[in-house]
Amino acid sequence: MDVLIHLLVALHIIGIASLLGGFLTQLKAMGQGTARFVPAMLHGAFTMLVTGVALVGLNQADDQPVNNVKIGVKLALLIVILGLVYVKRDDETVDRRLFGLVGLFTMVNIFIAVLWT
Ligand code: HEM
């Protein structure tokens, strides 16, 4: 079970790379007001959801403690991220404040994940 949990954490991190990496490639465009949600961001956000939910289930099945408040906050932020990226996935440009919010929430989730013990 441990190996499976660690594998899922690795996939969870690949999801972060895709979501945050996609965001970072658009930073210059964001400054010019021409950023768009690239497919890597949508796939990354979806990967975060699937692997995150699976991690909760596996940790519970393995009798490992799960911090429900922390997971709830991460899930709420991810739902906002996924909703925005999904709805606006075909828009050629996205308002820089909305685009920035997705990057901000992604980074907040990373800090919550590693600092909230
Ligand atoms: C953008 C969204 C997310 C980011 C950036 C993120 C980030 C991370 C990171 C960096 C870790 C590794 C932390 C460590 O092992 O110390 C982690 C672990 C984990 N994540 Fe996420 N996560 C996100 C969304 C979610 C969601 C939506 C869920 C559940 C529905 C979730 C559930 C978990 C669980 C259960 C773990 C392993 C146990 C723990 O450290 O709490 N994550 N996440």
Burial class (CB in 10 A: 0-12, 13-18, 19+), 54: middle
Q: Which of 11, 12, 46, 60 to mutate to test the pocket of ligand 1 (most atoms within 8 A of CB)?
A: 12
CA-based radius of gyration for the chain: 15
Number of domains in the chain: 1
What are 82's two structure tokens?
Answer: 């996924």
Q: Specify the pLDDT at position 18.
A: 98
Sole residue written with tokens 């010019």: 32
Cα 47 to averaged position of ligand 1 atoms, centre (Å): 11
Q: Specify the pLDDT at position 64.
A: 94
Q: Specify the pLDDT at position 84.
A: 98
Cα 108 to chain centroid, rounded: 10
* 3-class SS letters over 20-54: HHHHHHCHHHHHCCCCCCCHHHHHHHHHHHHHHHH
Q: Specify the pLDDT at position 1.
A: 85
Domain enclosing residue 102, as ranges: 2-115
Atom of ligand 1 nearest to the CA of 48: 24
Q: Specify the pLDDT at position 103.
A: 98
Cα distances (angstroms) measured from residue 7 to each of 14, 23, 98, 100: 11, 24, 32, 30
Where the chain has pLDDT below 70, the residues are none
